[in-house]
A and B are shown apart, each in its own frame.
Chain A
Amino acid sequence: MRIPCPYCGERGNEEFLYLGSAVLERPAPDASAEAWVDYVHMRDNPRGPGAEFMQHVQGCRAWLIVRRDTLTHAILSVAPARAARGGGA
Chain B
Amino acid sequence: MRYSVFSLIRNAFSGHTDWPAAWREPEPRAYYDTIIVGGGGHGLATAYYLAKEHGVTDLAVVEKGYLGSGNVGRNTTIIRSNYLMPANTGFYEWSLKLWEGLEQDFNFNAMVSQRGVLNLFHSDAQRDASARRGNAMRLNGVDAELLDREQVRRMVPLLDMENARFPVKGGLLQPRGGTVRHDAVAWGYARGADQRGVDLLQNCEVTGIRVQDGRVVGVETTRGFIGARRVGLACAGHSSHVAAMAGLRLPIETHVLQAFVSEGVKPVLDQVVTYGAGHFYISQSDKGGLVFGGDLDGYNSYAQRGNMPVVEEVMEMGLQLFPAFSRLRYVRQWGGVMDMSMDGSPIIDRTPIAGLYLNCGWCYGGFKATPASGWCFAWTIAKDEPHRLNAGFRLDRFATGHVIDEKGAGTTPNLH
Contact = CB atoms under 8 A, between A and B. Distances in A.
Looking at B250, B298, B300, the one whose CB has the most chain A CB atoms below 10 A away is: B300
Contact of B303 (A12, A50, A71): A71
B399 A70 contact: no
A32 to B, nearest CB: 11
A43 B250 contact: yes
Contacts of B303: 70-73
Contact of B302 (A37, A42, A71): A71
Contacts of A42: 249-251, 398
A37 B402 CA distance: 12
A47 B302 contact: yes
Interface in A26-53: 33-34, 37-38, 40-47, 50, 52
B344 to A, nearest CB: 13
A14 interface: yes
B364 to A, nearest CB: 16
Given A18-B298, A50-B300, A52-B300, A43 B307 contact: no
A44 B254 CA distance: 10
How many residues of B sit at the interface, in one of the four size bands? 20 to 34
A18 B296 CA distance: 12
A34 B411 CA distance: 16
Looking at B240, B241, B302, B308, the one whose CB has the most chain A CB atoms below 10 A away is: B302
Interface in B289-336: 298-303, 307-309
- Chief secondary structure at chain B's binding surface: mixed
B57 interface: no
Contacts of B240: 43-45, 47
Contacts of A45: 240-241, 250, 252-254, 300
A70 B298 CA distance: 12
Given A70-B302, A73-B301, A34 B399 contact: yes
A13 interface: yes
Contacts of A43: 240, 249-253
B249 A70 contact: no
B301 A70 contact: yes
A20 interface: yes
- Chief secondary structure at chain A's binding surface: mixed
Contacts of A33: 399
Contacts of A41: 251, 342, 398-399, 411
A37 B300 contact: no
Nearest to B251: A41
A46 B253 CA distance: 9
B411 A52 contact: no
Given A70-B303, A72-B303, A14 B253 contact: no
B202 interface: no
Contacts of B309: 12-14
B415 to A, nearest CB: 10
A68 to B, nearest CB: 8
Contacts of A47: 238, 240-241, 254, 302
B414 interface: yes
A51 to B, nearest CB: 11
A70 B398 contact: no
Interface in A66-81: 68, 70-73
Nearest to A38: B249
Contact of B307 (A1, A37, A44): A1
Contacts of B413: 20
A38 to B, nearest CB: 8
A20 B249 contact: no
A40 B299 CA distance: 18
A8 B135 CA distance: 51
Contacts of A71: 302-303
Interface of A: 1, 12-14, 18, 20, 33-34, 37-38, 40-47, 50, 52, 68, 70-73
Interface of B: 238, 240-241, 249-254, 298-303, 307-309, 342, 398-399, 411, 413-414
Which 6 A-B pairs give the minimum distances between C-beta atoms? A14-B309, A45-B240, A41-B398, A41-B251, A37-B399, A41-B342
16 contacts: A1-B299, A13-B307, A18-B298, A18-B299, A18-B414, A20-B300, A20-B413, A34-B399, A38-B249, A40-B398, A41-B251, A41-B399, A42-B249, A45-B300, A50-B300, A73-B307
